[in-house]
Copies of this chain bind each other. A is one copy, B any other.
Amino acid sequence: MRWARIEVDGAAVHGIVEGDEVEVVTGDPFDGYERTGNRLPLDAVKLLVPVVPKTFYAAGLNYLEHVKEQAALRGTEPNIAERPEIGYRANNALIAHGEAIVIPADATDKVEYEGEIVAVIGKQAKHVAVADALDCVLGYTIGNDVSERNWQKSDRTMWRSKNTDTFKPMGPWIETDVDLDALETTVRLNGEEMIRFKTNHMLFGIEAYISAMSQYITLQAGDVIWMGTEGAARNLEDGDVVEVEIDGIGTLSNPVIREG
């Protein structure tokens, strides 16, 4: 099942995507819903961020080549995680599929994409075993962890390098039926393939993260966990269009604008 969040008459509602239509529901995928029979053409509705999380988690450096690339960028030794330790991103930065990534005028040219799979928590969970961890996942969406690399290096926190408004595109929807091991992530810049990698080829998988997190943290319905990206990236420039596709989930596409 494919869950979208859409704008209807100025309000945010949930809907089920079927083919090229979306059927509006009352309620939501977390606490229960009923179909309304109101079916809208998918290309005529405004897609919203598929969920606004209560807490926005991000695994960070979770693919080996990306860890090495980022270390090389800094001139440091790669710091390969020995255990799944989660990080955070900020809700202010979320934008939906189709909305513009706006690069501030004072950003350097080192603004990069990071294509990621996102696990969406479906129900409250604490002290979950690895074997049971995916039971609390409603489904999966796609994130683009846009990053200003010079700010990331110079600042004490990642507040503006990763959490500037519009730097966290997420969508287009939540897919509940996926075979994680079969997925491939592809990032395209202006239609040209930049990278393609096995989505589940992580240092620590989604199960490992959820289990570890849940020993100290109560995961809540609607929380999201961004799982990190692979490889190096190219700079984003004014007028670019960046797409992250995960086969079986969909394609998250966003134009890029530079201010000033």
Q: In this assembly, does A91 line the interface, its C-beta being within 8 Å of a C-beta of chain B?
A: yes
Would you call A159 and B90 a contact (CB within 8 A)? Answer: no
Would you call B217 and A87 a contact (CB within 8 A)? Answer: no
A165 nearest CB neighbor, chain B only: B218
Q: How many copies does the complex hold?
A: 2
Q: Pick the residue among B52, B60, B85, B164 that contacts A216 (CB under 8 A).
A: B164
Would you call B86 and A217 a contact (CB within 8 A)? Answer: no
Would you call B54 and A91 a contact (CB within 8 A)? Answer: yes
Would you call B216 and A157 a contact (CB within 8 A)? Answer: no
Would you call B52 and A165 a contact (CB within 8 A)? Answer: no
Of residues A91, A155, A223, which shows the largest number of chain B Cβ atoms within 10 Å of its Cβ?
A91
Would you call A160 and B55 a contact (CB within 8 A)? Answer: no
**Chain B residue contacts of A104, Cβ below 8 A:** 215-216
Is chain A's interface secondary structure helix, strand, loop, or mixed overall? Answer: loop
Would you call B220 and A92 a contact (CB within 8 A)? Answer: yes
Of residues A52, A215, A216, which shows the largest number of chain B Cβ atoms within 10 Å of its Cβ?
A216
Q: How far is the CB of A161 from chain B (nearest CB, A)?
A: 10
Scoring A residues 122 to 157 as 1 if CB is less than 8 Å from chain B, else 0, what string do you get? 000010000000000000000000000000000111
Interface size class of A (residues with CB under 8 A): 20 to 34
Q: In this assembly, does A88 line the interface, its C-beta being within 8 Å of a C-beta of chain B?
A: yes
Would you call A81 and B156 a contact (CB within 8 A)? Answer: yes
Would you call B92 and A218 a contact (CB within 8 A)? Answer: yes
Would you call B159 and A87 a contact (CB within 8 A)? Answer: yes
Extra A-B contacts (17), CB below 8 Å, given A85-B156, A87-B157, A165-B216: A60-B157, A79-B156, A85-B155, A85-B157, A85-B159, A86-B157, A87-B156, A87-B159, A92-B217, A92-B220, A92-B223, A104-B216, A159-B213, A160-B216, A160-B217, A164-B217, A165-B217
> Could you name 30 residue pairs across A and B whose Cβ atoms are closer than 8 Å?
A52-B54, A54-B92, A55-B90, A55-B92, A57-B90, A60-B156, A60-B157, A79-B156, A85-B155, A85-B156, A85-B159, A87-B156, A87-B159, A88-B90, A90-B217, A92-B218, A92-B220, A93-B217, A104-B215, A104-B216, A126-B165, A159-B213, A159-B216, A159-B217, A160-B216, A163-B216, A164-B216, A165-B216, A165-B217, A165-B218
